[in-house]
Amino acid sequence: SWRAWPAWLRYTAVAIGLFTIATALLGYIGLAIFVSLQVVVTGTILVTAYIGFLSARAISEEGGFANTPIGRWLST
């Protein structure tokens, strides 16, 4: 089911985007590059952690791992 992002997360993302655009337009190219790289790296780390969390929750359900091909192979 689709859920909208929380308001604080939407506003923070928009603020960071506008800040990056404003710094680039004002000539602070180094700062704009730094901020955009930090956003990308931090986002990558958070998404990877979230995927790991979802995977762990799916596998830890009762019978979740047993129904996978590796789980069936190990049980034989």
DSSP per-residue codes, 16-37: HHHHHHHHHHTT-HHHHHHHHH
The reported pTM is: 0.68
pLDDT by residue (tens digit) across 41-66?
Answer: 999 999 999 999 988 888 887 777 77
pLDDT digits (tens, 9 = 90+) for 1-46: 788 889 999 999 999 999 999 999 999 999 999 999 999 999 999 9
Q: What number of other Cβ atoms are within 10 A of residue 17's Cβ?
A: 13
Domain boundaries, the chain: 7-75
